[in-house]
Amino acid sequence: MGPPGVGKGTYAAMLSQAFGIPHVSSGELLRREVASGTDLGRLVSKYMAQGELVPDSLVNRVLFERLSKPDCRRGFVLDGYPRTLSQAEALEATFPLDLAILLTAPLEVVVERLAGRLYCPACGEVYHEKWRPPARPGVCDKCGHALIKRADDAPEVVARRYSEYLSSSKALAEFYERRGKLFVFDASGDARVLCPRLVEKIEELLRGKEVVKL
């Protein structure tokens, strides 16, 4: 959990590698529905383009379908889901989490991160013009596709996404705090330096619980 641009996708990809479990991003699953032109994609595209939350029933449908796949049986790292109390309640009743990590960073840091973000529409890889540039400018290192700026990274849409985040984040954090599952992590520094510390902390917090590790 955390505001737009705080690094949820960046950390989730690193944690997925460290723990050998899939990275499941609600934003990425929804963007793929839109790009494939499915009925669901048509329904959700107008919310996403305006920086508004997609209705819970639609997001839950996509997420639960993904989490029911065999590769999620040993666990998964969620990114951007749950986002509302109702999503958290539905998730807890079906796929209860071990831990909910809230990433934090000052507003000016997340604005700079989103302004420089580059995205590969083919494989979903994320870059940053300054912090994580691709080897060849404008080209994805992983699949060779041309990189783009996400349409919802336009400043006026970022402002809407940020205010959506503020309106639901407190209740969500309290939900997991009451269950003893909340861990708040300052993500304002360099993710490559901070991620090994986060992995250590997760292992410490989950010690004694049955958690997968490669």
Residues in contact with ligand AP5 by the rule CB under 6 A: 2, 4-10, 26-27, 30, 47-48, 51-54, 59, 80-83, 87, 113-114, 116-117, 126-128, 131-132, 152, 161, 187, 190-191
Query: Cβ–Cβ contacts within 10 Å for residue 55, how many?
Result: 14
CB of 103 to ligand AP5, least distance (A): 7
Residue 42 annotated in active site: no
Sign of the Cα torsion 2, 8, 24, 26 reads positive
The CB-of-111 to ligand AP5 minimum distance in angstroms stands at 10
Strands (E) located in 81-131: 100-104, 117-119, 126-128
| Per-residue tokens: 17 | 């590698």
Report the residue closest to ligand AP5, judged by CB: 27
Q: Considering the candidates 32, 132, 150, 201, report the single residue annotated as catalytic.
A: 150
Give whichever of 92 and 207 is closer to ligand AP5, judged by the CB atom: 92
- Please indicate whether residue 150 is annotated as part of the active site: yes
Active site residue 160: no
Q: How far is CA 65 from CA 87, 91, 124, in A?
A: 14, 12, 19
Active site residue 31: no
| Residues belonging to the active site | 8, 83, 117, 150, 161
